[in-house]
Amino acid sequence: MISVRTALDHLLDLVSPLAVEHVPLAEAFGRVLAKDVAARREQPPFAASTMDGYAVNKAEVELHAMFKVIGESAAGHRFDGRVGPGQAVRIFTGAPVPDGASFVVIQEDVDRKGNLITILDQPGGDNIRPAGGDFKIGDIIAAPKRLSSADIALLASMNVPQVPVRRKPDIALISTGDELVMPGETPGPGQIIASNTFGLKALLEDCGASVRILPIARDQKPALEAAFNFAKGADLVVTIGGASVGDHDLVAQVAQDLGMEQSFYKVAMRPGKPLMGGRMGTAAMIGLPGNPVSAMVCGHVFLKPVVERMLGLPDGTTFKTAPLREPLSKNGPREHYMRAVLTPDGIAACENQDSALLSVLAEANVLLLRPPHDPARDTGATVTYLTL
Ligand code: AMP
Ligand code: MG
């Protein structure tokens, strides 16, 4: 069996960054910027006042100095004249600082009588935001980058109405099993609700993919063939379940009959051993184990980096370390991704690691990583984890 790292490398080899498309700025949030974008203008485009007050020449600013108010500069309405000696221009926040002025005395610091003002308090700073203080023409937002709300505001300010982003990966999710029904349906005797597809859809959409949940495929070849047919056009086809070697586990067989070139099958990990990966025409195909927690853990460990690669992003998986809050017994021969709870006091593995228990996954906030054959560990020992 291959290691998690080797399996992930095989999966990453199956995909490459998708094409670039241009979307309107208002639809670009959360998308991945595919090319550097340069500012088309300078911001602010003129020296602007940061306060309401009076624009004057800095050299004349001192306590009790008097000025004659000769006009007004408001946001969107520049004062066209020049501020000469002993003169001031009434100015408002965001308005252009007039020629000849180099200081804004805030209105709280002056006394005004008619068109005469007197400085009453020793003024502090100049209250002027210089031209280009935010960004200059040609300043860039560098790709690749998942666009945040702040990036969207910055792009708008840079006057970029269309944004080059990676096409969203189209992912088809296929649940397999005679025992499965959709949430909201009434399960017959011996049936359960398909949960993995919904959990994985959420996980993958969070990564930036566009996800289709296909109808559940029964454990018969024609049903699976039909499901693969529905998945046509997807960049990535993910099957769930039917990946072991039981009599009803048909995924590998049907996929191979349909031309899947398998790159590996089975990974030395817990949970998630019966993972498979390969290429099916233009799509990548990943077969996940059916156990709900196995499928979700594989989603975090394998699918997330695969989606990131399709989006042109570096692998965002970050491993961190924390001290154990409770001891751990020794690990077996496979890498173990244990559901665990991280608190400010350290990390503790959840008691029951049965790979069918979603309630334990929902309770966990990290996956604690155990290398193969890791010996028993005492409280306080440093361990590695992955944030969920
Ligand atoms: P399998 O790999 O098909 O043998 O499935 C392993 C276990 O996972 C079985 O208990 C299945 O009932 C369960 N299972 C498979 N697919 C799903 C799914 N989509 N949602 C919830 N449980 C599933
Ligand atoms: Mg099954």
302 and 328 belong to one structural domain: no
CATH code, 272: 3.40.980.10
Q: Are residues 284 and 352 in the same domain?
A: no
| Start-to-end CA span in the chain (Å) | 26
User: In this structure, what CATH number is given to the domain that contains residue 30?
Assistant: 3.90.105.10
Residues 24 and 160 in one domain: yes
Average predicted confidence (pLDDT) for the chain: 97
Please check whether residues 305 and 202 belong to one and the same domain.
Answer: yes
The residue from 310, 327, 343 where one domain ends is 310
Residue 247's pLDDT band (boundaries 50, 70, 90)? confident
The arithmetic mean of pLDDT across residues 180-192, rounded, is 97
Residues 86 and 72 in one domain: yes
* 333 shares a domain with 355: yes
Q: Are residues 28 and 162 in the same domain?
A: yes
pLDDT of amino acid 261: 97
Ligand index nearest the alpha carbon of residue 287 = 1
Q: How many domains does the chain have?
A: 4
Q: Which of 300, 307, 306 is nearest to 207 (CA)?
A: 307
Identify which ligand lies nearest to the alpha carbon of 288: 1
The tokens of 58 are what?
């800095």
Same domain, 231 and 303: yes
Co-location of 323 and 205 in the same domain: no
pLDDT of residue 249: 83
Average pLDDT of span 198-214:
98
343, 304: one domain: no
Ligand 1, from 214, 240, 247, 276: best to mutate by most atoms within 8 Å of Cβ?
240
Distance, CA of 250 to chain centre:
35
Which residues, by Cβ under 5 Å, contact ligand 2, an ion? 177, 241-242
Q: β-strands 53-56, 87-91: how paired?
A: antiparallel
For residue 14, which of 206, 236, 205, 201 has the smallest C-alpha distance?
A: 236
Question: What is the span of the domain harbouring residue 156?
Answer: 20-43+133-166
Atom of ligand 1 nearest to the CA of 219: 3
End-of-domain residue from the set 275, 310, 345: 310
Instruction: Give the pLDDT score at 218.
Output: 96
**9 and 142 fall within a common domain:** no
Same domain, 155 and 71: no
Of 129, 154, 185, which residue constitutes the final position of a domain?
129
pTM, full prediction: 0.93
Query: pLDDT for 283-295, tens place per residue?
Result: 999 999 999 999 9
Residue 137 in this model has a pLDDT that exceeds 80: yes
Q: How far is the CA of 270 from the centre of ligand 2 (A)?
A: 18
pLDDT digits (tens, 9 = 90+) for 265-275: 999 999 999 99
- From the CA of 175, give the closest atom in ligand 1: 19
Residues 315-328 have a mean pLDDT of 96
3-state secondary structure (DSSP) of residue 293:
helix
